[in-house]
Structure 1
């Protein structure tokens, strides 16, 4: 089975696709900015703190003294008063193998290291940003280790406040950009919305063509569509006129020939009558196909099946009164299909006439909505029906299963081709009532 999510995605409108793509892209950019900007700011602030610590390191190195015994002294007080304030968060210490001195800010504590000397902690066990260095003085043979650290928490607090403000700014930016994108998408696609509205007006018969004030990208499509609609309507109009002219032109000569043949002897009549019937069948068939071409305004056609069925059944009730057939019409009176009323009469009339000819007592007509676009008109009877192996044959041109009944064998074939011309289908099967079940699939009118 096809993936439902994939089908729904393919059916997304252009507006939805553009807005969805913009939403995904903008969301990714905002999240990336929200993650990378704080990280970059934190790195910058740490680097800035280490740069300041290196300045202090140079100051300590310049004022540090060591004697031959390895005793360390600082010749002057450092410039930053925080080194003298206990637990201030800014610390230093210097040590040799024999001696160690440290800032007053450490008080009675020391700078400690954990996790393989990757993390340093101060007097209050606060995590430090630190720099360290190993020096060698000419008056002392051993190494001198100097470590300077500063509390990391103020940077974390500053970063936390910055992130809060940053996310507010990014949220406002997100909403503002999305609003602009949505406005841009709807404005850019408004000509397509206008075209859809005009096509609906064409379908309803309120317009005969689309307007010509479209953007340059759509204007050629609109122009070609107007030309196609005009050409199609002209061809249909011309075809119907030709069909009517042909019908009138052939009716009188054919009637004369039939009357003349009727006066001839039986032997001659037997030879001439079949060709005349064949000519009549051919005329009926091709005139039916000409009528099947559709409405003059194909986009605006609509018909009410329930009303047409009632009208046709009233006529057939009189014609076939001696058969006592009851037609039950269960089709919704509000239902409308996109078919010309004349063509719907042709299709339904052929099917109902078959029902009146073959049903025992009841013909049932009902509808079944398939989806938002299609509906089934179902005609069933309680007659003898058609054998399963012959269901596909009866819609072929000229096929008659019973030669004793009047007809040309063209009815179901004309119905099949007519419903196909309206993008529909016909299906024959056995009815639950025992007779024939005919299903006409048609497009709903909107």
Structure 2
């Protein structure tokens, strides 16, 4: 089953770090913007209540009963606001049904209670401090009340809150910019690594170069060692495969000629063994060629060009069959496959079509996603049974022994496609024959 390539784009490290910093800053800013004004308001109210308590003390010291039994205030309080009408600072003295009030109240009264709050002459909200005392001249309790308008306090609090929010937002924006600069500077080595990887992928370099932090340097060294080891092993495997191919061709050719001179009975006994030996050699040489590109990261091929070249060769080999190949591939299409491996895969599929097609072979493409492309090769031949589609992809399987071939072509194509994280599937073509769908990766591009 072909490997599925993850197409969902994950957020970058920079985005994650910036998002985490932004969430943290927003949380801290909102918390500070909510808590600090509450602390300031509590502090201002406490300060105002302490001042009102001082006025209550002053009022307590000066209140007395006259000879007629009525409450009086012989001496005026020190703050002149108590004598200015509707100044926002008021006092009252309540004894039974009698009420003595400051000139600042004029003809109004303080309304309300502790539970619902107090209101002043102009329905403004008041902050009240009251005290109940007993005087020697009267058995009735005396209630002293001093009140101040909260409008000034609220205005002060509003101005402080606005200034606080301005400071918090400016500070949060500045911190976020500094964090962005810090993240960009910290991730600069990774950007350098990304550029160097692109150079390696494009074939412009064979190793990663540059200066990296000590946290990244061991990874770079291991990657360079792995790239060098891979290239060395790959080149050695290709050389061994080529040497083995040349070393075995001559002995097998000699044995084949000698067997041809034997009696028919001996030929019938030895020919299958030689055929099997040739198939094994062809298969394992094909596997050796499947080792991958000399620079796998820089592998790129243009399928349209290779199909034209292969079709030109096949038209000469199968000239007597009169087959027409229609190449509908985009000339700018590029796949991340080495040219020799692409020739091996497409060549085998096109050759099979030339063997079985009646008149027409069609080669076209279908974009699966941003990472892969499907190259479809179909013909108008007789086709095959549906249950054989999977069987013919097995090594050495041939459905028609009369047609020349080793039965290894489709197996090699299948394994080559898997080595590039692609796939090969067979199905019935709309033309009547077989449709081979070869899924290959696209080159990775810089975003």
Give the shorter-chain TM-score range: over 0.9
Quote the residue 2:20 is aligned against. Answer: 21
1:86 aligned partner: 85
2-side partners of 1:426 and 1:376: how far apart? 9
Does 167-176 or 414-423 show the bigger shift? 167-176
Cα displacement string for residues 326-377 of structure 1 (whole angstroms, at most 9, x for unaligned residues): 1111111111111110000000000000111111111111111222211111
Deviation (angstroms), 1:67: 5.1
Q: Does 1:344 align with 2:342?
A: yes
What's the CA shift for 1:117? 4.2
1:423 alignment partner, SS class:
coil
Partner Cα separation in structure 2 for residue 407 and residue 426 of structure 1: 20
Q: Quote the offset at 1:394 in angstroms.
A: 0.8
Q: Which residue of structure 2 lines up, in the alignment, with residue 129 of structure 1?
A: 127
- Equivalent pairs counted in the alignment come to 439
Please give the residue correspondences for 1:24-423 in structure 2 after superposition, counting only pairs within 5 Å: 24-66=23-65, 70-113=69-112, 117-211=115-209, 213-423=211-421
Q: Once the 2 structures are TM-superposed, how far is the Cα of residue 214 of structure 1 from its aligned partner?
A: 1.0
Secondary structure in structure 2 of the residue aligned to 1:234: helix
- How far 1:292 sits from its partner (Å)? 0.7
- Report the CA distance between 1:299 and its aligned residue: 1.0
Q: Is the 8 A contact 1:71 1:98 kept in 2?
A: no
Name the SS of the counterpart of 2:393 in structure 1: coil
Instruction: Out of 59-68 and 393-402, give the one that drifted further.
Output: 59-68
Query: Distance between the aligned counterparts of 1:317 and 1:429, measured in 2?
Result: 25
Preserved contact between residue 70 and residue 97 of structure 1 (Cα < 8 Å) = no
Structure 2: give runs of 5+ residues left out of the alignment.
1-5
Q: Which residue of 1 aligns with 2:3?
A: none
> Over aligned residues, Cα RMSD in angstroms?
1.6
Q: CA deviation at 1:253?
A: 1.0
Residues 230-282 of structure 1 show CA distances to partners (whole Å, capped at 9, x for unaligned) of 11111100100100110111111111111111222222211111111111111
Alignment partner, residue 425 of structure 1:
423
Q: 1:219 to 1:312 in 2, by over 3 A?
A: same
Q: What do the CA deviations read for 1:392-442 (whole angstroms, capped 9, x no partner)?
A: 111000111111101111111000111111111111111122211111111
Aligned counterparts of 1:37 and 1:408: Cα–Cα separation in 2: 84
CA–CA distance in structure 2, aligned partners of residues 10 and 435 of structure 1: 39
Distance in 2 of aligned mates of 1:269 and 1:226: 54
Q: Secondary structure at the match of 1:205?
A: coil
C-alpha displacement of 1:167: 2.2
Closer/same/farther in 2, CA of residues 70 and 196 from structure 1, 3 Å limit: farther
Return the offset for 1:66: 2.6
Deviation of 1:139 (Å):
2.8
TM-score normalised by L of structure 2 = 0.95
Q: Counterparts of 2:68 and 2:402 in 1: how far apart (Å)?
A: 137
Structure 1 position 166, deviation (Å): 2.1
Cα distance in 2 between the residues matched to 1:102 and 1:353: 114
- TM value normalised by structure 1: 0.95
Residue 4 of structure 1 is matched in structure 2 by none
Where 2:436 maps in the other structure, the secondary structure is: strand
Kindly state the Cα deviation for residue 386 of structure 1 after the two structures are TM-superposed: 2.2
Unaligned runs of 5+ residues in structure 1 are 1-6
For 1:225 and 1:89, locate their aligned partners in 2 and report how far apart those are by CA, in whole Å: 79
CA–CA distance in structure 1, aligned partners of residues 250 and 401 of structure 2: 27
